[in-house]
Amino acid sequence: MSAENQASVHVHRDDVATKMGMWFFLFSELLLFGGLFLMYSVYRYTHQHDFHIAAEGMNIFLGTANTIILLTSSLTMALAITAMQKGKKILSLSLQIITFLFGLAFLVNKFFEWSAEFREGNYPGSPILTAKPSGQILYYGLYYTMVGLHGVHVIAGMTVIAFMIRFTIKGIITKDNYVKLEAAGLYWHLVDIIWIFLFPLFYLIT
């Protein structure tokens, strides 16, 4: 086998290993959030009235805006991968940057939303929240835990995309070698899918 063929086989094996590793990682993430969703369902069933009262205080406008932002960012990430596959490096790079900025916009919105909640005293351990019924305390506990964990994943996804931008600029990611960008895209899509479940649970189902 020629050196060129050996290099091709090596790259192919690395690509397969990268994809398999990413799918196993995504599966573990689904198990994590799946357990949290199950916990939410149990507590909601046992504290339906309190969950209803607490959910009425959520900012549906910001929640909807963040949903639109993340859905659009999924589209731009998918388009970035397609552009790279077609050899359109500048277009792919631009779309990756736009995706990163969408992630930043999501976090900025979440900052304003949580700031309002903190001003109203709806945060774990506050005298105002601890004076409320146990069901409402559970609601906000789950809200900050699950949405906060999702926010950590958004930051992680943005960090990965930042590396993809750097790799694209340096020519590490190319038309013939874009598996890293695909893996980053899979992770970002997972982040978006998790939010699609979180949004109705905390903002729409009252």
* Mean pLDDT in order along the chain per 10 residues (206 residues): 44 61 78 91 93 92 96 97 96 98 97 94 90 93 95 96 97 92 94 94 85
Does the domain at 29-204 match CATH 1.20.120.80? Answer given as yes
**Distance from CA of residue 54 to its chain's centroid?**
24
Backbone angles phi, psi at 200, to 5 degrees: -70, -35
Q: Give the Cα separation of 170 and 176 in Å (integer).
A: 14
Q: For residues 132 and 60, is the Cβ–Cβ distance under 8 A?
A: no
Tokens found for residue 202: 């905390």
Backbone angles phi, psi at 47, to 5 degrees: -135, 55
What is the pLDDT, as a whole number, of residue 196?
Answer: 94
- Convert the pLDDT of each residue in 1-36 to its tens digit: 544 444 344 445 556 666 677 777 778 888 888 999
Tokens found for residue 135: 């069901």
Q: Give the Cα separation of 78 and 29 in Å (integer).
A: 21
Tokens found for residue 74: 């999924």
Q: Which amino acid is at 202?
A: F
Backbone angles phi, psi at 87, to 5 degrees: 80, 15
Whether this prediction's pTM lies above 0.75 is answered by yes
Tokens found for residue 162: 């930042």
What is the pLDDT, as a whole number, of residue 127?
Answer: 92
